[in-house]
Amino acid sequence: MKFLCFILGLTLGCTLVLFTAGDFTPYVGDPDHDVWVIRPSPGAQLAKALAVAIAFAALSGLAFVITCRLATGLRLTRLFLVTAIGFTAVVYCYGDFKTLLGDGRVLYELPWGADRLGISAGCGVALAAAATVACGTCRAAWHEQTGSRAQKAR
């Protein structure tokens, strides 16, 4: 049950991040001519964000289980490492790195490379830290609640 809540929490968190700050328009790089992009509708943005988030949560959950076999214990450390890598990949691919003019014309987009990776890694670490703190808080509340129930039963 806790693992299902973990997967649902990752899915919800990633969907929220991508829905509010994701970019699902085609990559254009540094255009040498006028390029216009049309942002998807809110419904389409939500559907794409949810699809990416489900894949992210499934792969992160799988990696978390695999790392359990390699290093038992240290759950929050493993959670941080797994989600930092996953969030970095999500931000690198779907982060909003475009500079748009008001009419939807692309002025500039940060190209694939070291700068984009550095920004993505910073965002990935920050998002992973937030996810780890949230999970640790929920875990502590869970243990407190189940511990108090066990004491009442005695």
Domain ranges of the chain: 2-153
Name the pLDDT band for 148 (thresholds 50, 70, 90): low
Q: What is the DSSP letter of 112?
A: S
pLDDT for position 126? 93
Residue 106 has phi, psi (to 5 degrees) of -80, 120
Beta bridge partners of 22: 95
pLDDT for position 143? 66
Q: Which two tokens stand for residue 62?
A: 């799988």
User: Across residues 90-95, what is the average pLDDT?
Assistant: 91
Beta bridge partners of 108: 99
The whole-angstrom distance between residue 102's C-alpha and the CA centroid of its chain comes to 28
pLDDT at residue 151 greater than cutoff 70: no
What mean pLDDT, rounded, does the chain reach?
Answer: 83
- Amino acid letter for position 149: R
Q: How far apart are CA 16 and CA 128, in angstroms?
A: 14
pLDDT at residue 36 greater than cutoff 90: no
pLDDT at residue 73 greater than cutoff 70: no
User: How much of the chain exceeds pLDDT 70, in percent?
Assistant: 86
Q: What is the DSSP letter of 102?
A: T
Helical ranges in the chain per DSSP H: 2-21, 42-70, 75-94, 114-153
The SS3 call for residue 99 is strand
CB atoms within 10 A of CB 116: 17
pLDDT at residue 142 greater than cutoff 70: no
